[in-house]
Structure formats: structure tokens, C-alpha cells
Amino acid sequence: MAEKLNNYENTNRLFDKAADVIELDADIRKILKTPFREVKVELPVRMDDGHIEVFLGYRVQHNGARGPMKGGLRFHPEVDFDEVRSLASLMTWKTALVNVPFGGAKGGITCDPWQMSQRELEVLTRRFTSRMGLAWGLHRDIPAPDVNTNAQVMAWIMDQYSQRYGYTPGIVTGKPLGLGGSPGREAATGKGVSIATREAARDFDIDLKGARVAIQGFGNVGSYTGKFLHEMGAQIVAVSDASGGLFAGDGLPVTELFDHTYEHRTIEGFGQGEALSNEELITLDCDILIPAALGGVITQENANDVRAKMVVEAANSPITTIGDAILNDRGVIVVPDIFANAGGVTVSYFEWVQNIQAMTWEEDDVNQQLERIMVKAYRDVTDVMKQQSVPMRTAAFTIAIQRVADTEKMRGGF
Ligand code: NAD
């Protein structure tokens, strides 16, 4: 069977599988599979060498039945409508699953930020904000960080948006603390992934103490995931990023590696561990594999070679539909993205709540609420898994789809 589906078709396959389980009617299916609004903008930027480059920026607002649409912004050469559409729909299911009052959106700019200066990035971000601002809003659509965007990018967005619409810190989440960011937001996705891993490991008889963990991608999500799992007693035996990978059979010194990466934005130059390729990391002999970089890295080509007992999807869509079917058939536990990485949007919700109330929470309160929401979502998912005898991903999708479908029906208007 060839794997020819595009990203959005892949996501809709997962949607249909779960929609069949709850016997969702055809009309609601059509609504939930059609994005609410899609915007594409032209972004001319004068580059440092004097010429003008024209970039393209995208925002897909997938569904807003349950609240303002929410989702990150990705700066990457492979960003296109198909990828953004797929990621936007995952946000709809993610926010519904953890039951925060948001819908789903995603955006991005096709660019290579590693080849751009800070000034070029700032102009690009501000252009994007000026041209997308009409479609955003505190109660309409709220961006956040994703691949290659960070607190600084969110600060530029907040400033640019506020120049036109008045002081609006809540227009974006993942901001620096001094600009209305939330304590705990930077670490939140990784913290959520570590909670998801802990809960699933306990249920599937993997002792986290001493468990061998391999993490692909050591950016925001991967590095915090490694840090928290290390604190829980796991051994991080391999990590990788765009520059390549590192392996140490008795565990990498995660704290030092975290500090090195925080400073240099890459694991390159760390000077400890053996070299390992990104492909080798996926098939490494380990207990838990955590893809935390880009989508589509476990496919029909390598799913049979995955040796981990459990795969925790810290990245969005790291496993293709066929890759997923192969892992399921082989009995590999897959903890799905819409649950595993939902800690980020959960604390983004807390940040938005703090902004609209003009209040700041303590970090302990943020982390306690995050723990409560992740554990509740895990229990909801595993209850459905047992009742319906379906994989964890299908269980997670059924809960989310049912919630959004019910709200769509209540709101009506068609
Ligand atoms: P990031 O930009 O901070 O880090 C991305 C990491 O992936 C970097 O280490 C980079 O070097 C690595 N990478 C890039 N290309 C690679 C390649 N070809 N092979 C191996 N590694 C590669 O991004 P992030 O925010 O950590 O996001 C990572 C994933 O987590 C994405 O799939 C994103 O959608 C998802 N996610 C992020 C958040 C969030 O709050 N930031 C929330 C939910 C999900």
C-alpha cells in the first residue's frame, strides 16, 4: 500500500476512524472536516543585503465552535496550506480533548529563520501581524509559539498588534514573563509530555526509573521533556536535532545538555556522547521513543524497525497513518499527539485567562492545574480505550470529536 496522502488527508483519516466509532452523522462530519477560514498573505521584507524578498504567510482557523481559535505559528521552509490545515485541525481536537474553551487554528511562514538576521525576522513577524491582525482577536484567534518561533517572536506580535488595536497582551501566548507571559509556559509542553509519559508508562508496565528514552528534536519541547523525564528517573540515552544526534548507553548528562542547548540553540558542539543519525535514533533499542521535532518521521518505511515499547508523540503528526497502523499491529503503545503535547495549549489557556483578568498566577498553581488537566484527560482517554477496545489515538479523537460535534449542533445556524 503506497503512502500518498497529504498531511490534511492523513489527519482526516484519523478523524474518520474515530467518527466511525461514535457513528457521527454525515452532515456534522462535513462541517468538522472543512476549515472555517483560511488566509494567505504576501510578506515583502527588505533583506540586510538590500534586496526585497517576498515570503508567504498562512493562517488556518479550523473550528471555533467551543471558543476562540488557538494554535501556534511555525517558521519553516516546508510550511504550506496543507501542513497548516492539518495542524489546525489537530488543535481543534487537542483543545476539545483537554476541555479548554478554545477551538483550533495554526499558522506559519514559509522561510528559513536560520538563514535570517534578527532584524529580518522582526520585520517579517511584524508584517505578518499587520496583515493577519484582521483575522485575529482576543476572542477570535490567538497565536502561540511552534517550530522556530519563541517568546521574542510573540513579543513582536504583541507589540505590533497593540500598536493598531490598543494594549492587548492576550492576543498571543508564550510571551516573555515581563510582557504578560505565564510562569511555566515555556516548559509547559515538555512538562505535559512528561506527565503523559509517566501515566502511560505506569499503565503499560514500564518502570520510568531507569527506562531508556530516546528523544528526536531537542528544541523547546524535546529539551524540557528530557529534563523532566530525567528528574523522574529515566535515562535519556539518545537525543537529536537538525544538526544530528548523540548517544550514551548509560544516559546522557541531561542537565548539562539542556544548558548547552539553551545557550547555543543546538546540541552541536556539546562534546559528549557518540554521534548518531536521526534515522538511527528512531530505530534505537530503547523503552520509550519520543519524536519531538517535525511530522512524518515514522512511516511505513521504518515503523517495523522501531524497537521501543512505547512511542510518545511530543511533535504533531510524527507518525503517518500507515506507520501508525504498523505500530498498532506490532503492539507498540502510541501515546497520541493531541493528548501528549496538550500541555502547551493548556498553559496557553492559563496565560490568556491571566491576561484578560490582568492577574498573574504563581508557577506552582500553573503546574498543579496542568497536572490536574493532563491526568483527567488521560483517564478519559483510557476509559474509552477500554470500553471501545480501540487504540489510544482513536479513543482521544472520539472524545474530542463528540465534544465539538455537540457544540456545533447546539450552536446551529446551518
Ligand atoms: P523548536 O523549534 O523549539 O524545536 C524543534 C527541534 O526540532 C529543534 O531541536 C530542531 O533542531 C529539531 N529539528 C528540526 N528539523 C529536524 C530534523 N529534520 N531532524 C531532527 N530534528 C529536527 O520547536 P518546538 O516548539 O520544540 O516544537 C517541536 C514539535 O512540538 C513540533 O512538532 C511542534 O508542532 C510540537 N509542539 C510544540 C508546542 C510548543 O508549545 N512549542 C506545543 C505542542 C506541540
Domain boundaries in the chain? 36-167, 186-340
How far is the centre of ligand 1, averaged over its atoms, from the C-alpha of 219 (Å)? Answer: 6
Q: Which atom from ligand 1 is nearest to the alpha carbon of 316?
A: 32
Per-residue model confidence as pLDDT tens digits over 155-192: 999 999 999 999 999 999 999 999 999 999 999 999 99
* Closest C-alpha residue for ligand 1 atom 19: 242
Architecture of domain 186-340: 3-Layer(aba) Sandwich (3.40)
Q: Please tell me if the CB atom of residue 297 comes closer than 6 angstroms to any atom of ligand 1.
A: no
Domain 36-167 CATH class label: alpha beta
**% of residues, the chain, pLDDT over 70:** 99
Is position 106 annotated as part of the catalytic site? yes
Per-residue model confidence as pLDDT tens digits over 249-288: 999 999 999 999 999 999 999 999 999 999 999 999 999 9
Per-residue 3-state assignment (H helix, E strand, C coil) for the chain: CCCCCCHHHHHHHHHHHHHHHCCCCHHHHHHHHCCCEEEEEEEEEECCCCCEEEEEEEEEEEECCCCCEEEEEEEECCCCHHHHHHHHHHHHHHHHHCCCCCEEEEEEEECCHHHCCHHHHHHHHHHHHHHHHHHCECCCEEEEECCCCCHHHHHHHHHHHHHHHCCCHHHCCCCCHHHCCCCCHHHHHHHHHHHHHHHHHHHCCCCCCCCEEEEECCCHHHHHHHHHHHHCCCEEEEEEECCEEEECCCCCCHHHHHHHHHHHCCCCCCCCCEEECHHHHHCCCCCEEEECCCCCCECCCCHHHCCCCEEECCCCCCECHHHHHHHHHCCCEEECHHHHCCHHHHHHHHHHHHHHHCCCCCHHHHHHHHHHHHHHHHHHHHHHHHHHCCCHHHHHHHHHHHHHHHHHHHHCCC
Q: Please tell me if the CB atom of residue 317 comes closer than 6 angstroms to any atom of ligand 1.
A: no
pLDDT computed for residue 1 by the predictor: 45
Q: Which atom from ligand 1 is nearest to the alpha carbon of 174?
A: 40
* Closest C-alpha residue for ligand 1 atom 30: 315
**The pTM is what?**
0.97
Phi, psi of 261 (to 5 degrees): -70, -35
Phi, psi of 402 (to 5 degrees): -60, -40
Residue with cell 509519559: 197
* Closest C-alpha residue for ligand 1 atom 38: 146
Per-residue model confidence as pLDDT tens digits over 66-124: 999 999 999 999 999 999 999 999 999 999 999 999 999 999 999 999 999 999 999 99
Is pLDDT of 6 > 60?
yes
Q: What grid cell was written down for 237?
A: 540515552
Q: Which residue among the candidates 17, 70, 106, 227 is catalytic per the annotation?
A: 106
Asked whether this chain's domains 36-167 and 186-340 adopt the same fold, the reply is: yes
Q: How confident is residue 212, by pLDDT bands cut at 50, 70 and 90?
A: very high
Q: Please tell me if the CB atom of residue 149 comes closer than 6 angstroms to any atom of ligand 1.
A: no
Q: Please tell me if the CB atom of residue 84 comes closer than 6 angstroms to any atom of ligand 1.
A: no
